[in-house]
Amino acid sequence: MRLLLVHADYINFKAKEKALKAAEEIKEKEQRVEECLVVFTAAEKTDEGKEDVVAHRAAGQIASDAEKVKAEKIVVYPFVHLTDGPAKPESARKALDLLVKELQKKEGLQVWKAPFGYYKEFELKCKGHPLAELSRRITAEAGKEEVSEALKAEEKAKSYWYVLDQEGVLHEISLKDEEITGYDFSKYPNLEKFARYEMKKVRAVKQEPPHVRFMRELELADYEPGSDPGNMRYYPKGRLIKSLLEYYVTKRVIDYGGVEIETPIMYDFEHPTLKKYLNRFPARQYIVYSPNKKLFLRFAACFGQFLTAHDAVISYRNLPLRLYELARYAFRAEQRGELTGLRRLRAFTMPDCHALCADIPQAKEEMMVRFKFQKQLQTEIGFKIPEDFELAIRVTKDFWNENKDFVVSLVKEWGKPALVEMWDKRFFYFVLKYEWNFVDALGKASALNTDQIDVENGERYDIRYTDKDGSQKHPVILHMSPSGAIERVMYAMLEKAYYDQQAGKKPMLPLWLSPTQVRIIPVSEKQLEYAKSLLHEFEGVRADLDDTDETLGKKIRKAEKEWVPYIAVVGEKEVESGTLSVRIRETGEQKQMTAQELAELVREKTKGMPFKKLSLPVFLSKRPVFVG
């Protein structure tokens, strides 16, 4: 299918007379659409018999281009002259109709169609910016989306929704006309937002969430137009935060007993065991081709860890065996309208820890250990538990009936009610899964932590352990991400900072993650050399110095815009007294402190957390600007 996309102020078109016997019947011969993306399209002979695939892929591309130019109105205009190998009229009309239907499914788009099979006159005004005219060719052969059987099943599955309170009472809830009935959410408004999001299952984002502005203003990360959507670039400050989180989560998982390994990022699509697992996992795959194989990019570390476990010699004495990998990167071909900032990506960093357990009783015991471990980990990172998250539990009816007390114990440990999604039958590999979800300023929820009880893959991968009696048995496997994707942790932190800002507080990052922890600002050039001499006092602290020729006020405003936790001003009085005038962002206080006292304060507040230097010059005058 050939596409010519024109971003227009308007288009007028009018059907004059039929050009084909197969022309569709129309009611309106003339239409005008303003502020639109006009998509001239021609189906080709190579599209015949594959109209559904081509239409699906074309709609995705059009939606992506519409988002780039911020167009919400789409006009599909059949234009056979784009190709010298046109499809037969009946195939072309089918492809056109399917394309319109696919576009109508896209959140936030309004779709018009010029009549098929007519001679038409048209007038349009192109906007003339760099992206106003684009051409595309869509084929069915390359890059076809692979959708797992589990994902198809999930889309059709009947869910029963409940709120499970700390007393173990299951309250059935339902959603009708935006109103949730069956539970009093007055004490838990955020849980109500989360429940509404989950029950509606609308994942597309219509507007930019606050964290996107923050990630740019702070020069942390940005979209990479030279890559596939959902693959981000990270500037030095963002890379610092990301690497500190990666290191700390890995360290804490090893402290818990994780056995760290590393495995490939791509696997044979036709491997019989892997292919079966692909169809039990609700994710869209990236497909790549080597000279002799069709491969998929991993969407978690399961594949490599399970193949490693298959080849290992394991005794019951080794259980639970906790295999861990920081999967940099994992890949999921998420739908285009769902991609936004750091919240949902196609390439992400996933700490992935599986525990091989002897049986369901040991798996439940281990899951509770991990649940408590994750509470401690997220608190250390900088979140408030459970205030900052909402707990979701996904469970089969059989597992609930047989293990109700255990499920209730998770909610009791959590400390507030949880949302429960229950299925009549199991169509994934797990019988129980929980997630900790962050609900952002747009009412969208994103899962961070998770753990799952997997009852299939021990047998599917033929992983065995030797039991006390010498018999060979398959383990039950737990799937845990102790923090969630690292990028999603950053997203939640920035959205949490936005909530603080809305509440009248100054937005901040946790001190241990702040790219600059101390900013030294000389009042004038007279104090510059003295200010430089103070830097050696800040060993183990990320301190920098504003040596630019800006005014004091502008320097302080810049430090505030960068969310610097401690701003240390050096004037004549400070040089004479040997102290610093320190502005403390968290409290709004201003104190006189020596450089040694300030450095010790930061070291004490970040004790036990990893430290890395920022890979930017200490002097601000030497730093490039990454986001202008």
**Length of the chain in residues, anyone?**
628
The CATH number that applies at residue 540 is: 3.40.50.800
Question: What is the residue-wise DSSP string for 422-442?
Answer: EESS--SSEEEEEEEEEE-TT
- Are residues 114 and 68 located together in one domain of the fold? yes
Same-domain check for residues 130 and 171: no
CB 315 within 8 A of CB 342: no
pLDDT (0 to 100) of residue 143: 46
| Claim to verify: residue 26 and residue 130 sit in the same structural domain | yes
Any residues with CB less than 8 A from the CB of 142 and at least 6 apart, and which? none
| Distance of alpha carbon 466 from alpha carbon 90, whole angstroms | 63
Same domain, 328 and 474: yes
Is residue 16 one of the residues assigned to a domain? yes
Count structural domains, the chain. 3
pLDDT, position 44: 93
φ/ψ (deg, to 5) at 139: -125, 160
Residue 263 belongs to a domain: no
d(CA 437, CA 295) in angstroms, rounded, equals 32
Query: Which of 62, 87, 104, 66 is CA-nearest to residue 1?
Result: 87
Query: In whole angstroms, what is the distance from residue 398 CA to residue 54 CA?
Result: 41
Is 261 inside a domain boundary?
A: no
253: which 2 tokens?
A: 């998982």
* Predicted local confidence at residue 292, as pLDDT: 81
The per-residue pLDDT for 426 is 87
Q: Residue 356 sits in which domain range?
A: 160-209+216-234+298-489
Phi and psi angles of residue 127, each rounded to the nearest 5 degrees, phi first: -70, -30
Tens digits of per-residue pLDDT, 288-344?
A: 888 888 899 998 899 999 999 999 999 999 999 999 999 999 998 887 677 889 999
Residue 265 lies in a domain: no
Distance CA(488)–CA(344), nearest Å, equals 7
How far is 610 from 234, CA to CA, in rounded Å?
A: 20
Q: Is 174 in the same domain as 139?
A: no
Please tell me whether residues 193 and 304 are part of one structural domain. Answer: yes
Question: Given the DSSP bridges, would you call strands 174-176 and 221-223 parallel, antiparallel or unpaired?
Answer: unpaired
532 and 464 fall within a common domain: no
Q: Are residues 375 and 524 in the same domain?
A: no
- What are the helix (H) ranges across 578-620? 595-605
The span from the CA of 223 to the CA of 213, in Å, is 12
Residue recorded with tokens 């005004």: 125
Can you give the CATH number for the domain in which 81 is found? 3.50.80.10
What is the Cα–Cα distance from 63 to 69, expressed in whole angstroms?
A: 10
Q: Give the pLDDT of residue 286.
A: 86
Alpha-carbon dihedral of residues 429, 435, 441, 442, nearest 10 degrees?
A: 20
Contacts of 382 (CB under 8 A, 6+ apart): 493, 509, 510, 512, 513
Q: Are 235 and 219 in contact (CB under 8 A)?
A: yes
Q: Hunting for tokens 């949902």 — which residue is that?
A: 344
In a domain, 616, yes or no: yes
Closest CA to 306 of 462, 466, 427, 431: 462
Same domain, 11 and 74: yes
What is the distance in angstroms between the CA of the first residue and the CA of the last residue of the chain?
A: 38
Is 290 a member of any domain? Answer: no
Q: Cα 474 vs. chain centroid, distance in angstroms? A: 33
CATH number at residue 330: 3.30.930.10
For the record, the structure tokens of 236 come out as 């030095």
How far is residue 475's CA from residue 471's CA, in Å, rounded to a whole number?
Answer: 12
Q: Which residue is listed with tokens 């309250």?
A: 171
Looking at 279-392, list the stretches that DSSP marks H as alpha helix, in order from N- to C-terminal side.
Answer: 302-311, 360-381
In eight-state DSSP terms, residue 503 is T
Q: Is residue 551 part of a domain?
A: yes
Q: What is the DSSP letter of 109?
A: -
Domain boundary among 103, 118, 144: 144
The phi and psi torsions of 320 (rounded to 5 degrees) equal: -70, 135
3-state secondary structure of 299: coil
- What stretches in the chain show pLDDT beneath 70? 141-157, 202-206, 280-283, 336
Q: Are strands 73-78 and 160-164 parallel, antiparallel or unpaired?
A: unpaired
Indicate yes or no: pTM above 0.85.
no
Are 67 and 187 members of one domain?
A: no
**Residue written as token pair 């971003």:** 7
Name the region of 504 (left: φ>0; alpha: ψ -120 to 50; beta: rest): left
Same domain, 334 and 460: yes
Helix axis angle, 486-502 to 210-217, nearest 10°: 100
Q: Decide if 55 is inside a domain.
A: yes
